[in-house]
Structure 1
Amino acid sequence: MEKGIEKLDDIINSKLMKLKETPALLSMTEHQLKRTGSRMMARMSLLVCNAICGNNEKALPLAAAMELFHNFSLIHDDIIDEDELRRGQEAVWKKWGMQKAIVGGDCMLSLAYQSMIDVVKEWGMLEVSRKVLEAFNLLVKEVFEGECMDIDFEGRVDVSIKECLKMIEMKSGASVGFSSFCGAISAGAENSIVNSYTTFGRNYGIALQIKNDLIDMTSPDLIGKGQNSDIKKRKKTIPVTYALESASGKDLEKLIRYYEKRQDEGVCEIPNIFKKVGAFKYAEEMASMYKSIAMTELKEIGKVVKSEGQKCLYQTAAGDFNMGNTPLDFKV
């Protein structure tokens, strides 16, 4: 796997060299990409491809394109949320300013699209190429819609758990689902298998994001962010929406005052209320449920795809919430 990641980095670096005549863009994109840690999206593509055809090299070009898109979304996400840190280091916007960071993120999106086009041109299979580009366009649309929902939710205290889950599915679920799709279609799998791996990825991605949001509130050092980062920004995550639906009396009054932005004091009390009403426990259970759904799908695939690679994918996904065994760098 690590050799595959090294080859992936070589492909990504070759794409970045197209920016060498614009040093500022090259510096920003290199800064973002050198800090991506586990390369979760790429690992998913490579593991799925290996499960189907016994090697991961066929998935490298699409995995590289997905990494470029994922990091575009991270740059813009940090701008929108005004997060100054990404994995413990300065976010691109903090280091270069918001205007340049927006352009840098947009540039990575264009590189991702061009990378996708380069792949399908090389494949030369019209039907498969059309499917890849349509799936990528759908991913971009879903992530943008999910981000818009995320922003809109910050000004509301009546966001339901159902709405929150839909937002998570459109951002994180869609991203991990597409990564799985890339691995399966690169390996030449038939449509039913491609669809099954995509379903696995979407549910696994939802579980990952719920877990990541929980870590933000309980162990922020693991993801290189400040204490209570999402709480301070009034982000609507599963623990927050559950607490707003479940709290009562003075606890509910405190939550409403805080999340309606009528009060900036008392941020340290919010996690205590979440714990008191069982919001953290509920989020853990929700993450476990979606992971279980994902693993059930993967187990069903194993009845058809009977390979050592499939066993490796299952064991890796079942073992923890992080394909790279490093602190999570997942939020999109």
Structure 2
Amino acid sequence: MLDTTRAVFQRYQQEILQELHRAFRTKQALLAEGINYDDLLMLEGQMQYHLGWVDQELRPAKGYSGKLLRPILLLLGYELACTQEQPASQNTLPLSLRPALPAAAAIELMHNFTLLHDDIQDGDIERRHRPTVWFVWGVPQAILVGDALLAITRLHLWKVLDEGVEPATALRLAKLFDTALLHLTEGQHLDMSFERQQQVSLSNYEEMISRKTAALMACATEMGATLGTHNTEIIEGLACFGHALGLAFQVRDDMLGIWATEAELGKLPVGDIYRRKKSLPILHAFQQACSEDQSIMTNIYNQEAPITEEQAQEILAIFARTQTKEYCAQVLAWQCQQARSALSQVVSLPSAHTTRAQADLEALIDFVEGR
């Protein structure tokens, strides 16, 4: 990762992590509610294990909690929108993040809720180089942990009211949040249904990733903008930026699911082949392959037995013959260009704050594109 991008990921890291911890009830708070803390220690601990804060014995740990991309997008969207509306004389003053931090934490917690349930549905036994919650404690308990995490997420979003956000704005945030959650669920449904279909079109694939991935990133930037301004053009522009970046991010993720090493991904290499996921590389290769290669892919993906390493290598060879990796890279570059175009149309009043926020968002585009 380039130094510029690393600085963007680190800029708000401590504020976001502190706010994430605030989302969970303390022992004192539980006791004040008349709840025996020890009875709920396991449930609280399993949520925090998923977030990387504790180990399997529920002892404090320095696990990797992810890059926090979505809350960073929300905060940068807030910064950009807010400073666009400020008089030039105020643009040199420090900007308080407090009004946006509960929403930023909620976006990250929602993302982690989806990851926890995705691990169950995909059968993934590792997440961020550690065993997944379901693999350690079983599927029924992992479902319960995910449900509890979602409840905490929605409750924490309302804490924007404690930070002085207007009730009408808080209601708009809640609607954006719940709409994104519905779209995420629809996207996951489509993704899972594709695994049972013989053929999936590229247009159906884009519809799926628009919901599964782009919806949450668009929600993050739109919520940030909504907290920073009432200007609908700025809000809609940042939502378009987030959506385009989300599409690009999923294409990147699809490429990593095939060609990344285990060290880069934290999962098995070529894992999407073993899971028979209908990701962009698979769909493109099938469309472009000769009839013989199409038959090979169909037979491998339809067999009842697990895909072997030798068969995975056959699929990779077909990818090479159809120049699938090159095609995916072109799609990624196009979506990143769409994100850059949307972002450039948002900024109309350059200032110290807006210039930095815009530069940071552009650095995140570079990160997704792999520059």
Compute the TM-score of the two structures, normalised by the length of structure 2: 0.82
**Counterpart in 2 of 1:288?**
333
AA matched with 1:37: G
Task: Tell me the matched-pair count.
Answer: 324
Q: Using a 3 Å threshold, how does the CA distance of structure 1 residues 44 and 56 change in structure 2: closer, same or farther? A: farther
Compute the TM-score of the two structures, normalised by the length of structure 1: 0.91
8 Å CA contact 1:199, 1:297 repeated in 2:
yes
SS at match of 2:276: coil
Whether 2:243 is the aligned partner of 1:225: answer no
Q: Using a 3 Å threshold, how does the CA distance of structure 1 residues 41 and 275 change in structure 2: closer, same or farther? A: same
For residues 40 and 220 of structure 1, the distance between their equivalents in structure 2, rounded to whole angstroms, comes to 21
The Cα shift of 1:313 comes to: 2.6
Whether 2:176 is the aligned partner of 1:158: answer no
AA matched with 2:16: L
TM-superposition CA deviations, 1:147-195 (whole Å, max 9, x none): 1111100111211111111111101100111111122122235222111
**Counterpart in 1 of 2:118?**
77
Of the three residues 51, 55, 74, the one matched with 1:33 is 51
TM-superposition CA deviations, 1:14-57 (whole Å, max 9, x none): 22235873111111111121232211111111222222335361
Whether 2:168 is the aligned partner of 1:168: answer no
Q: Using a 3 Å threshold, how does the CA distance of structure 1 residues 18 and 147 change in structure 2: closer, same or farther? A: farther
**Counterpart in 1 of 2:58?**
none
Any stretches of 5+ residues in structure 1 without a counterpart?
326-332
Any stretches of 5+ residues in structure 2 without a counterpart?
1-7, 31-36, 53-63, 84-94
Of the three residues 127, 142, 145, the one matched with 2:183 is 142
For residues 72 and 44 of structure 2, the distance between their equivalents in structure 1, rounded to whole angstroms, comes to 24
**Counterpart in 2 of 1:328?**
none
**Counterpart in 1 of 2:3?**
none
AA matched with 2:131: E
SS at match of 1:16: coil
- Give 1:306-325 correspondences, 5 Å limit: 306=351, 307-321=354-368
**Counterpart in 1 of 2:80?**
51
RMSD: 2.1
For residues 268 and 341 of structure 2, the distance between their equivalents in structure 1, rounded to whole angstroms, comes to 35
TM-superposition CA deviations, 1:124-166 (whole Å, max 9, x none): 6343222111111110110000011111001112111111111
8 Å CA contact 2:78, 2:228 repeated in 1:
yes
- Give 1:194-233 correspondences, 5 Å limit: 194-221=235-262, 222-233=264-275
For residues 78 and 369 of structure 2, the distance between their equivalents in structure 1, rounded to whole angstroms, comes to 18
For residues 268 and 212 of structure 1, the distance between their equivalents in structure 2, rounded to whole angstroms, comes to 20
For residues 26 and 202 of structure 2, the distance between their equivalents in structure 1, rounded to whole angstroms, comes to 43
For residues 201 and 261 of structure 2, the distance between their equivalents in structure 1, rounded to whole angstroms, comes to 25
8 Å CA contact 1:4, 1:60 repeated in 2:
no
The Cα shift of 1:76 comes to: 0.4
AA matched with 2:364: A
TM-superposition CA deviations, 1:284-327 (whole Å, max 9, x none): 1111111111110001112356522333234313432189x9xx
Q: Using a 3 Å threshold, how does the CA distance of structure 1 residues 151 and 18 change in structure 2: closer, same or farther? A: farther
8 Å CA contact 1:40, 1:322 repeated in 2:
no
For residues 291 and 181 of structure 1, the distance between their equivalents in structure 2, rounded to whole angstroms, comes to 18
Q: Using a 3 Å threshold, how does the CA distance of structure 1 residues 114 and 278 change in structure 2: closer, same or farther? A: same
**Counterpart in 2 of 1:240?**
282
Of the three residues 106, 110, 113, the one matched with 2:154 is 113
**Counterpart in 1 of 2:4?**
none
Which protein has the larger Cα radius of gyration, Structure 1 or Structure 2?
Answer: 2
8 Å CA contact 1:247, 1:277 repeated in 2:
yes
Deviates more, 1:263-272 or 1:116-125: 116-125
TM-superposition CA deviations, 1:42-78 (whole Å, max 9, x none): 1111222222335361321100011111100000011
AA matched with 2:174: L
